[in-house]
Structure 1
Amino acid sequence: MIHPRSPHAEERAAPTPPGGRARRRLRRRRDRRGVALVMVLGAITVLTVFLTELQEETSTELSAALADRDALRAEYYARSAVNLSRMLIAAEPSVSSTLAPMLAIIGLKGNFQVPVWKFTDMFLGPFNAQLVEPGAAPPAEATGEASAAAGKNLGLTGGGRFELKIVDEDSKININRAADDVGGISDQIAVGAQLLSLMSPAQYNALFEERDGDGQFSDRATVCSALIDWADPGDQTFSCDVSANAPSSTGAEDSFYQTVGLPYQRKNAPFDSFEELRLIRGMSDDFWATFVDPDPNNPDKRVLTVWGSRKQKVNVTSANAQMLLTLTCSAEFVDIATTPLCTDVNQQTAFLTVASLVQSMTGGILFPTAKDFVDAMTQKTGNTLGAMLGQQLKAMGVEAVKFKPNATKSLGNKTSFLSIYADGVVPGNKRETRVRIHAVLDLTGATKITDTDPGGADPGGGGGDTAGAGEPSGAQNGAPPTPETYEKQVRSNPAGTIIYYRIE
């Protein structure tokens, strides 16, 4: 407590000079200036971080949802392509019979399948991308003429499309023939001869002089034996020596896969997929790109397959040039040592050039029948397509080939197994969504689409509808076919059976 008479009391009781209180308030206010700004900036910073995180999460979820949506759309575009392909393949017998007279004019004679699957753009194009821009008038309205763009339920909406490739598996080397325990050694020898023919050209020597994918040195016969032993149900190592005195086996199968540290052993069962070939010993990336899958974007260039029937003959009509050369130089068909085409690189190059050129001009058809193939390679004279091609080969310096007796009995011009590669494509703002479906179709049990009732007329003759020759069942006096007729035709399964289906 301050005494009233102390100097501090007098000082305390002194009146405040005018304006002093205001100055103190101003000083205190000046000391607190900027606090609100700091608080506002802090709040903005917190809100910015929160909103940025919220926007990022929302954008991520939206992108994921759009990706799932586009992937689903792409998958169903690919499914549509597979279904359309089966429709086209089912119509092949009708197309072949219709085009046969016209093809005969240009020398394509014989009872063969027209590979309609090579013309998917022509046949299935109207069902693919959008035919007209949204809101634009179809060409039919502008010109008064019929147009596919004026049709209903044609084209894909939403800017998507599909890319389609159909490949004949019977025109390739079927390695799974070696898995058939009924055919005996003959099938394995045939497959081994074709594999050695594929790998034998001298330009591939460097590939077998370096270490393979397992870090080992594997020659051609070793890799050939490994491919056959994987599918061969026996426990004996198969010898890919195709000479007359070669042994059928070189002893029990070894434990190579375990020895080099691989977590599996020989399967001794058929290949389930084409990608399973990756597991074979000696399968390096260079070997894969050279002999197994030369062009991943074009499966038609492959010469190996794991789908097909042991009894099915190799289809020379759809085989590519490399496969035809492999067949010609197989020890199953010719004596390699006395066949210049199989030892001369220049002749092989000339053959591949001529064959590829003719295939591009005929839409993929090179030899309508196996006889045409023999006529061309033996350079027989005549006016057939094979004979004319043989003369072109002769002009290019390719010498005639002498086949062994009955060597071509395993060649044909029909196919029963087809691979459908359908890519559904959905373009986006900064990305493109693709989904691929690989389906393998077995046409072994497929029936031909006909205009008549598969079940025939009423066997009892008691009041059932009886269609005339060439009339659809149920069509009487011009009446349209009944739904029961279509059901019977659908149940006849003209599009074959899907034996392999994979979505990537």
Structure 2
Amino acid sequence: MAPSFFRQVSRRRKQAPAAVQAPGALTTKAVRRDKRSRGVALIIAIVSIALLTVVATEFAYNSRVDLQLAANQRDEVRAYYMARSGLALGRLLMRFQKQVDQTPIPNPMAMLGQLGAMMGGGQAPGAAGQAFQPQSLNIQLWKLARVDCHMLKGLVKSEGAQVEDDSGGGTRSRLENDPVDVDPNFQMEDGDGAGGAAAQMASQMQRRSFGGFEGCFLATITDEEEKLNVMRLNTGGAEAQATAARMLDMLGDKRFEFLWQQDDANKVRSTPEETLIALKDWADEDPSQSALNRQDPTNPFAVGFADEGSPYSRYEPRYEVKNGRFDSLDELYRVHGVNDRFMAAFRDRLTVYPDINSKPNINTDDPIMLGLAIM
């Protein structure tokens, strides 16, 4: 058995190569640790870029949404004031129409009679016993004039109006304080020339600027008394008879037969007579369904025994009859038998706004309404 000294020496010799390889092993661990650090940094960079991309995308989206909201609000304000401009121009035109209606014109026959009497001759035929009777001008300006943005541009001075530049030639935009051009040949009754009352009148008559505007509008003026008033169906007597007869003739016209040959959105099909009765029952105070009585010249509607709300029980959802005055023309949509096709055909020929005692106006250019007025 070898001494312990030799055993320790041999053990140290066997462990020496391991001590020599230790630095290489440490280098490999450092490389692995460095690779792990670089992998974590790459993941952090990718996550950071992804977060920044999400934040930038959200910011760009919010910016676009805010811009679109601002544009929508601008368009809403522009459309509102365009509509008010059309309404104001329509009222201005109706004011001119009132002045035209109040403008008298002489009676030609009476003038010829007076002229013959002054000259000592005979009077014109039919002029005997007639006094001077003025007549108004029968001119409908609201039908002749087109109320739109082009009329407004003709009344309001443009922001971009160009005038001659006195300093260096050329043109420039007109300013509010620029002098007004006055015709030197214009003379007032008091003899003042271009420097007196003429300049004052010209300064008052010049078109003033109210700011630039974009877009266009079109205002349509209609006479509600030219249309058939649905509310007259409940007046009774001759007016209700005449209104019911004219409305039946219009609804039963051959050109509108296709309206009654198809079901509506509620799978319900109606007839002109049923629709006329439904219009009458919607506004009357009687809860019973009316019946059409064409033989009675004083009252075209007789009180029936059925429930006037029975046609609406087939609708989804169900609703009751109003038994009150129509508030608007769109309320006709709630009446049995009235749908989009009905309103497309008769919306411009029906009304609920005028007073039931107002006289209808037969001066219309609608051939259907003119034919009903003649018949």
Q: TM-score range by the shorter chain?
A: 0.5 to 0.7
20-29 or 309-318, which moves further after superposition?
Answer: 20-29
Partner of 2:52: 47
Contact 2:100 2:137 in 1 (8 A): no
Contact 1:192 1:242 in 2 (8 A): no
Give the gaps of 5 or more residues in structure 1: 102-108, 294-301, 330-504
Q: Secondary structure of the equivalent of 2:217?
A: strand
Superposed counterparts of 1:55-134, under 5 Å: 55-96=60-101, 111=136, 114-121=139-146, 125-128=150-153
Partner of 1:218: 270
Q: Secondary structure of the equivalent of 1:251?
A: strand
Cα distance in structure 1, aligned partners of 2:47 and 2:146: 63
Instruction: Identify if the C-alpha distance between structure 1 residues 132 and 29 changes in structure 2 by more than 3 Å, giving closer, same or farther.
Output: farther
- Counterpart check, 1:321 vs 2:321: no
Partner of 1:461: none
Aligned length: 302
Quote how far apart the aligned CAs of 1:223 are.
Answer: 1.1
Instruction: Identify if the C-alpha distance between structure 1 residues 238 and 115 changes in structure 2 by more than 3 Å, giving closer, same or farther.
Output: farther
Partner of 1:229: 281
67-76 or 255-264, which moves further after superposition?
Answer: 255-264
Quote how far apart the aligned CAs of 1:151 are.
Answer: 2.8
Cα distance in structure 1, aligned partners of 2:266 and 2:26: 94
Contact 2:312 2:320 in 1 (8 A): yes
Residue 304 of structure 2 aligns with an amino acid whose one-letter code is G
Instruction: Identify if the C-alpha distance between structure 1 residues 30 and 268 changes in structure 2 by more than 3 Å, giving closer, same or farther.
Output: closer
Partner of 2:217: 162
Cα distance in structure 1, aligned partners of 2:372 and 2:300: 23
Contact 1:230 1:268 in 2 (8 A): yes
* Higher fraction of helix: 2
Quote how far apart the aligned CAs of 1:214 are.
Answer: 4.4
Superposed counterparts of 1:57-456, under 5 Å: 57-96=62-101, 111=136, 114-121=139-146, 125-128=150-153, 135=160, 137=162, 151-153=207-209, 157-180=212-235, 184-212=236-264, 214-235=266-287, 237-244=289-296, 248-252=301-305, 254=307, 255-261=309-315, 263-290=318-345, 292-293=346-347, 302-329=348-375
Quote how far apart the aligned CAs of 1:126 are.
Answer: 4.1
Quote how far apart the aligned CAs of 1:82 are.
Answer: 1.5
Alignment deviations for residues 349-386 of structure 1 (CA, whole Å, 9 cap, x no partner): xxxxxxxxxxxxxxxxxxxxxxxxxxxxxxxxxxxxxx
Quote how far apart the aligned CAs of 1:43 are.
Answer: 0.8
Contact 2:158 2:209 in 1 (8 A): no
TM-score for the superposition, normalised by structure 1:
0.51
- Counterpart check, 1:13 vs 2:13: no
TM-score for the superposition, normalised by structure 2:
0.66
Contact 1:129 1:157 in 2 (8 A): no
Residue 314 of structure 2 aligns with an amino acid whose one-letter code is V
Contact 1:271 1:306 in 2 (8 A): yes
RCO comparison, higher one (Cα < 8 Å, 6+): 1
Alignment deviations for residues 177-222 of structure 1 (CA, whole Å, 9 cap, x no partner): 2344xxx333322221111111122343343344355434432211
Residue identity (%): 27
Q: Secondary structure of the equivalent of 1:249?
A: strand
Residue 332 of structure 2 aligns with an amino acid whose one-letter code is L
Instruction: Identify if the C-alpha distance between structure 1 residues 177 and 145 changes in structure 2 by more than 3 Å, giving closer, same or farther.
Output: farther
Quote how far apart the aligned CAs of 1:236 are.
Answer: 5.0
Cα distance in structure 2, aligned partners of 1:112 and 1:130: 25
Partner of 2:117: none
Q: Which has the larger radius of gyration?
A: 2
Cα distance in structure 1, aligned partners of 2:182 and 2:15: 115
Instruction: Identify if the C-alpha distance between structure 1 residues 206 and 160 changes in structure 2 by more than 3 Å, giving closer, same or farther.
Output: closer
Quote how far apart the aligned CAs of 1:174 are.
Answer: 0.8
Contact 2:283 2:326 in 1 (8 A): yes
Quote how far apart the aligned CAs of 1:264 are.
Answer: 2.5
Residue 310 of structure 1 aligns with an amino acid whose one-letter code is I
Contact 1:214 1:282 in 2 (8 A): no
Quote how far apart the aligned CAs of 1:35 are.
Answer: 4.4
Contact 1:214 1:281 in 2 (8 A): no
Cα distance in structure 2, aligned partners of 1:282 and 1:41: 66
Q: Secondary structure of the equivalent of 2:294?
A: coil
Alignment deviations for residues 428-451 of structure 1 (CA, whole Å, 9 cap, x no partner): xxxxxxxxxxxxxxxxxxxxxxxx
Residue 84 of structure 1 aligns with an amino acid whose one-letter code is L
Contact 1:237 1:253 in 2 (8 A): yes
